[in-house]
Chains A and B, each alone.
Chain A
Amino acid sequence: MSVELKVNGRAVTVDVEPRTTLLDCVRDELGLKGTHAGCEHGVCGACTVLLDGQPTRSCLMFAVQADGYEITTIEGVAPQAGELDVIQDAFCEAHGLQCGFCTSGMILAARSLLEREASPTVEDIREAISGNICRCTGYGQIIEAIQLAAERMRGQNAPASPSLSRTEAVR
Chain B
Amino acid sequence: MNAVESKTKFVSTDRRVREDRRFVVGRGRYVADIDLPGMLHVALVAAQHPAARIVSIDASRALALPGVHKVLTGAELVEAVNPLMNGLETPQVRRFPLAVGQVRYAGEWVAAVVADTRALAEDAAERVKVEYEKLGFVIDAEEAYTPQSTPVHPEHGSNVLLDKTFVWGEVERHFAEADQQLSFRVVWGRNSTVPIETFGVVASWDPWQEVLDVWASIQMPKYSDQIARSLRLPGNSIRVHQDVDVGGSYGVKRGIKHSVLVGHLARALGRPVRLIEDRLENMRAGDAHGPERIFDVDVAFNADGIVRSMKMRALDNVGAYAGRAPFQLGKPIGAIVGPYKIESVQYQAISVTTNKTVQEAVRGFGQAPTNYAIETAIDRVAETLGLDRIEIRRRNFIRHDEFPYLIPSGSTYDSGDYHTVVDKVLAHAGYDDLVAERDRLRAEGMLAGIGIAACLEPSGGNSSFEPLLNDKNTTSTWMDSCRIMVDALGTVTATVHTTSSGQGHETLVATVVGEVLQIDPDLIRIVRPDTLSSLPSNSPVGSRMAIMLGGAAFKAAEKVKAKMVAIAAHAMGVPIETANYVDGTVRTADGREMAWEAIVNMAHRQFHALPEGMDPGLASDHIMQVPTGVQLPKDDKVQMYPCHSFEFHLILVAIDPLLGKPEIRRYVIGHDCGTVINPHIVRGMTLGGIAHGLGAALLEEFAYDAEGQLLTQSFMDYLLPSSHEVPDVEIVHHCTPSPLTVLGQKGSGESGYLGSPAAISGAINDAVRPLGIHFTRLPMRISAISDAIAEAGPTMTQEEI
Q: Report the nearest A residue to B752, measured CB to CB.
A: A138
Binds B, one of A50-58, A60-68, A69-77, A150-158: A69-77
Q: List A residues 121-169 near B (Cβ within 8 Å).
A: 122, 125-127, 129-143, 162-166, 168-169
A3 at the interface (CB under 8 A from B): no
Give the dominant DSSP class at A's interface. loop
Q: Report the nearest B residue to A101, measured CB to CB.
A: B247
**How does the 8 Å CB contact mask read for A62-100 relative to B, with 1 for contact and 0 for none?**
000000000001110110000010001101111101111
A171 at the interface (CB under 8 A from B): yes
Q: How many A-B residue pairs have CB under 8 A?
A: 208
Most chain B CB neighbours (cut-off 10 Å) among A32, A36, A98, A125: A98
**How does the 8 Å CB contact mask read for B239-282 relative to A, with 1 for contact and 0 for none?**
00000011111100000000000000000000000001011000
Most chain B CB neighbours (cut-off 10 Å) among A73, A132, A169: A169
Q: How far is the CA of A112 from the CA of B683 in the complex (A)?
A: 27
Q: How far is the CB of A145 from chain B (nearest CB, A)?
A: 9
Cβ 8 A contact of B22, one of A27, A100, A166: A100
Hey, which chain B residues are within 8 Å of A17, CB to CB? 119
Most chain A CB neighbours (cut-off 10 Å) among B23, B248, B492, B596: B23
12 contacts across the A-B interface (CB closer than 8 A): A27-B33, A36-B196, A39-B279, A41-B716, A88-B25, A95-B683, A99-B23, A99-B247, A103-B28, A138-B691, A140-B728, A142-B723
A4 at the interface (CB under 8 A from B): no
Cβ 8 A contact of B726, one of A28, A37, A41, A138: A138
- Number of residues of chain B lying within 8 A (CB) of chain A: 73
Most chain B CB neighbours (cut-off 10 Å) among A36, A39, A89, A104: A39
B621 at the interface (CB under 8 A from A): no
Hey, which chain A residues are within 8 Å of B245, CB to CB? 99-100
B197 at the interface (CB under 8 A from A): yes
A34 touches B585 (CB 8 A): no
A43 at the interface (CB under 8 A from B): yes
Q: Report the nearest B residue to A162, measured CB to CB.
A: B21
- Number of residues of chain A lying within 8 A (CB) of chain B: 67
Hey, which chain A residues are within 8 Å of B690, CB to CB? 138
Hey, which chain B residues are within 8 Å of A99, CB to CB? 23, 195, 197, 245-249, 501-502
Q: Report the nearest A residue to B489, measured CB to CB.
A: A170
**How does the 8 Å CB contact mask read for B10-53 relative to A, with 1 for contact and 0 for none?**
00000011111111111110101101000000000000000000
B687 touches A140 (CB 8 A): yes
Known A-B contacts A134-B196, A135-B193, A171-B595; the reply to A101 vs B28 at CB < 8 A is: yes
Q: How far is the CB of A12 from chain B (nearest CB, A)?
A: 17
Q: How far is the CB of B417 from chain A (nearest CB, A)?
A: 25
Cβ 8 A contact of B28, one of A38, A41, A75, A100: A100
Cβ 8 A contact of B197, one of A27, A36, A41, A93: A36
A77 touches B687 (CB 8 A): no
Q: List B residues 552-575 near A (Cβ within 8 Å).
A: none
Cβ 8 A contact of A33, one of B33, B585, B715: B33
B715 touches A44 (CB 8 A): yes
Cβ 8 A contact of A84, one of B21, B246, B720, B729: B21
